[in-house]
Structure 1
């Protein structure tokens, strides 16, 4: 600790970790910000940033090892900032400690005239992409970053889209046109130049070959490009190239009402359906102080686990297909369709049901809802046993995946890996157990783990997760609470339909709540869930209006793809296919 620690006047009510950071720097020049999510949030000065982060990661007892998120906020149009330091742009560092089972959030205030911070990509390798994203979206420079180039937007893009002065709608611009000359410029900007990325074209005894895999290739599961540096068939290095599926999901979250944005969330991890709704509506409910009824919580849990089954079945089938097995995906798609039949009978839609609402769910369970679910949970276990014989016990598949793309728990945490990819290394940490939400503390289930952290273990963990999802769904089936499916809070959106029939005032309230959306109190809230592919979080900032001031979507697939070069160096191209299959990603979850 700093020798001046005894002379620092530290408020008695601050968390212990804040006291430690103040003693480290020998200064109490910080601001502790209260937030609705209860996460310790500390504004610090730019000169103390790296020292504080280094202490939190390496020196603190039970350190904050995982860089959960790194993002920014354009504060220039925000009006409700009482008690906060002056800031035109704010960079936010969100860390997670598995040992403490708690988070900490550090904020650094910047002025528009001096938008720079030191990089932390040497401390967390996962910070590389996060810092590039913040530069791309906000124009904030990270001094010392090894390659600060655009990552989501095209190389030729003008401006920084998440700034408040950047247009949000096509109607704010001239009609789009693309001349032949401009098309050539755009295409040339996408050309891969090895020297730009520090790659050599030859070794001492051979020339390297550079191969574009994607952006249109079946194994990359969407529009995703990997530029491979090859020595024969051996991978020397790889450069993942993302951004081909970017749709401005965060920007749209800042132009839609709190209510009308819900369907947009379904399209992020589009295989997870309403599970994408959950962290968003939970964050809005936390901001508004809405208590969700037990029945609505149980319905949400059941729907989320059904979508987990649908997503994992698709993963399982494509995993086998990428490795050369054609039959499993057809069987698994049949089972996935059965899940969608159940979801359709409850919500009216299949993949993108947008079934959750602020305060509960869109409608109550229909009569006879339990019959189809009961039949399915009796049917699927035997099918999973058959798939084990067909896929996991296949000797060729084992040779293709065991020992391939392996990493340790420490490496996974350094690269911000969560979900099955982290549990495959042996760490039994599941958000539903560690920090239960929506009533998950009421359900009995196990946390499947692996021990090698390779392609095979990442698959076996997800297969066992399906069995645990069936356990949870069965408990929902047998213990579904009675009561309302939506809260009676005035900010619940939309209000229960039956209230519209009472008098004209309630009908007007219903109309306004649906068309304009609720006005959510001032505050910040980040809510995380254990999604299909890892930890998914919505970090929402309300300025006391009918729309979110800042919508940050932390998705699991974004950091996972950043690991690809580390996982595939020295491997063959066929091994890279196995690695990609085992990650379980969709590009909408990466690009947003």
Structure 2
């Protein structure tokens, strides 16, 4: 508390006020308590350079960059006038570790008019490149000086910017789709890769380069993903990752679904993460609504999230081994993955996409006999991991295809926004479950696997050890499952417990309204970061006191990780690219959203 009784300003706010003066900024209060400051566009670069390079504990990572169409928003009391807002979310690993979870700062720039623009920040943070292209694609915001401002998620022939409020949100609001031969030829021609458009040369004085389309339909591309390779023989001179083939408009859907009915959509983002995707969404909403969930709910959520970490890592493990030449492990790992899904299905009723977490709790209580199923899996899996280690990780070919391939250090990882096992493989001991625990992770005893070479091999070892630590966490859930309700006793818990709707008319009416219209969340902004299967995943939600989200921002780890591909693989061989892509561990739904 300050001397006058007011809450003390966050450390980063005090530093910015001391360096630039208080009058430069407008401080915004948010539900998530992330320091949020508005500033003019002409001072943005100066402030960002200070935060990245001069601040006592610098913000080396541009965690996210997004935008919002403010034109229909009603609850904007005390905020600068804006038609559009560009939002920069910075993360300081050092500050986060030192302050136990206070390493964020959010900067906002207000823009006016139908064709807003501001300078690019790619000369400050390299990974702003894709984020600015996304903001241009979705909102039509021009970033002056950007090295290649073009569409990234939508086809180059697309008209309009879908996340603007005047753009339709439902298919029934569009004219019928047609694709005749002329339009198909035009669309195909628009996808032609022209090296000069990307600042690439077709050759040198001595020889020509070869350009090779890898994907978007290739088994080693791990989804509808294309990389255009500039090759000198088998050496990758440069490459251009091309995404967007899987784009489904999940953020736009958030504006048309009720808070509750949007939960199944979250399952389909990292579609290998299951309920792990529900978790940041419902945690963010629980902050917004002021819901405190029972300890039993927290423990159940942790247990099921760790089951999905195991299933996701097993798929990575098997497919990575396959991509470097080992054909057998993937079949054995799929067997074990199915055993984990048997437990998940017994608890939730579904396998890959349970959509089982709820605002304020889970869909139903643990079924009778759940503990026996979990114990059987815990007894089975460690022995299998030991076998995999002998068959795959300690295999000479596996090692030769993985060691010293696509290695990068911590500084490079932070520059490109890499999180999760890809960051911890560089020697950076950073896991949100330890640094800023959520859902009761502070009550569990587990280690964070850290390796140091930052190559494909270490990224594999990190995930292999994470499976063991997940088993350790699940065992603690099994042995220490709290008693109590499976939902919070709060009016915005959705839907209310079924047994209560059968006893009193008020709860029945609430149930009817919450399911048909959806709960009305208080106005405000909130976010939640979690340590998901592939890195840090988060939801940044804006409520305008309605039954639906005004703006749903999904920051996924895979989007950031694919942008780093050229920086990590240029100068290495085509087979190394295959190993590197497999070691990233991504799914295209997590990239394209």
TM tier, smaller: over 0.9
Q: 1:12 deviation in Å?
A: 9.0
Q: Which residue of 2 aligns with 1:154?
A: 155
Cα distance between partner residues in 2 of 1:482 and 1:490? 22
SS at match of 1:99: helix
SS at match of 2:95: coil
Query: 22, 35, 38: which one pairs with 1:40?
Result: 35
Matched, 1:67 2:68: no
- What does residue range 103-502 of structure 1 map to in structure 2 within 5 Å? 103-113=104-114, 115-502=116-503
Cα distance between partner residues in 2 of 1:447 and 1:190? 43
Q: Is the 8 A contact 2:115 2:142 kept in 1?
A: no
Q: Which residue of 1 aligns with 2:560?
A: 559
Cα distance between partner residues in 2 of 1:358 and 1:589? 22
Q: 1:113 deviation in Å?
A: 4.4
1:68-100 Cα distance to aligned partner (Å, 9 max, x none): 100001000000001111111000000011111
Q: Which residue of 2 aligns with 1:579?
A: 580
Q: Which residue of 2 aligns with 1:93?
A: 88
Cα distance between partner residues in 1 of 2:572 and 2:72? 50
Q: Which residue of 1 aligns with 2:100?
A: none
Matched, 1:56 2:57: no
Q: 1:365 deviation in Å?
A: 0.2
1:348-368 Cα distance to aligned partner (Å, 9 max, x none): 000000110000100000011
Q: 1:115 deviation in Å?
A: 1.0
Cα distance between partner residues in 1 of 2:10 and 2:507? 45
Q: Which residue of 2 aligns with 1:6?
A: none
SS at match of 1:246: coil
Q: Is the 8 A contact 2:71 2:83 kept in 1?
A: yes
Matched, 1:589 2:590: yes
1:471-522 Cα distance to aligned partner (Å, 9 max, x none): 0000000000000000010000000001111133322221111111100001
Q: 1:121 deviation in Å?
A: 0.9
SS at match of 2:460: helix
Cα distance between partner residues in 2 of 1:13 and 1:356? 35
Q: Is the 8 A contact 2:424 2:449 kept in 1?
A: yes
1:41-70 Cα distance to aligned partner (Å, 9 max, x none): 001111110111111110000111111100
Cα distance between partner residues in 2 of 1:302 and 1:509? 30
Q: 1:216 deviation in Å?
A: 0.2
Distance 1:373 1:156, change over 3 A: same
Q: 1:157 deviation in Å?
A: 0.4
Cα distance between partner residues in 2 of 1:503 and 1:18? 49
Q: 1:568 deviation in Å?
A: 1.2
1:510-564 Cα distance to aligned partner (Å, 9 max, x none): 1111111100001100101000000000000000000000000000000100111
Q: Is the 8 A contact 2:268 2:353 kept in 1?
A: yes
SS at match of 1:112: coil
Which stretch shows the higher mean deviation, 176-185 or 126-135?
Answer: 176-185
Q: Is the 8 A contact 1:14 1:32 kept in 2?
A: no
| TM-score in terms of structure 1 length | 0.97
Q: 1:324 deviation in Å?
A: 1.1
Cα distance between partner residues in 2 of 1:265 and 1:334? 26
Q: Is the 8 A contact 1:272 1:531 kept in 2?
A: yes
Q: Is the 8 A contact 2:52 2:59 kept in 1?
A: yes
Q: Which residue of 1 aligns with 2:528?
A: 527
Matched, 1:25 2:20: yes
Q: Which runs of 5+ in 2 are unaligned?
A: 1-5, 97-102
Q: Is the 8 A contact 1:25 1:48 kept in 2?
A: no
Cα distance between partner residues in 2 of 1:179 and 1:375? 56
1:103-154 Cα distance to aligned partner (Å, 9 max, x none): 0000000002451111111211111000100011001111111000100010
RMSD over aligned Cα, in angstroms? Answer: 1.1
Q: Is the 8 A contact 2:115 2:140 kept in 1?
A: no
Q: Is the 8 A contact 1:67 1:414 kept in 2?
A: yes
Cα distance between partner residues in 2 of 1:430 and 1:288? 27
Q: 1:585 deviation in Å?
A: 0.3
Distance 1:283 1:12, change over 3 A: closer
SS at match of 1:276: helix
1:238-271 Cα distance to aligned partner (Å, 9 max, x none): 0000000000000001110000000000000000
| TM-score in terms of structure 2 length | 0.97
1:221-248 Cα distance to aligned partner (Å, 9 max, x none): 1000000001111111100000000000
Q: 1:13 deviation in Å?
A: 4.5
Cα distance between partner residues in 1 of 2:445 and 2:410? 25
Q: 1:205 deviation in Å?
A: 1.4
SS at match of 2:106: strand
Q: 1:567 deviation in Å?
A: 1.3
SS at match of 1:212: strand
Cα distance between partner residues in 2 of 1:51 and 1:241? 32
SS at match of 1:50: helix
1:162-185 Cα distance to aligned partner (Å, 9 max, x none): 000011111001111112111111
Cα distance between partner residues in 2 of 1:70 and 1:522? 22
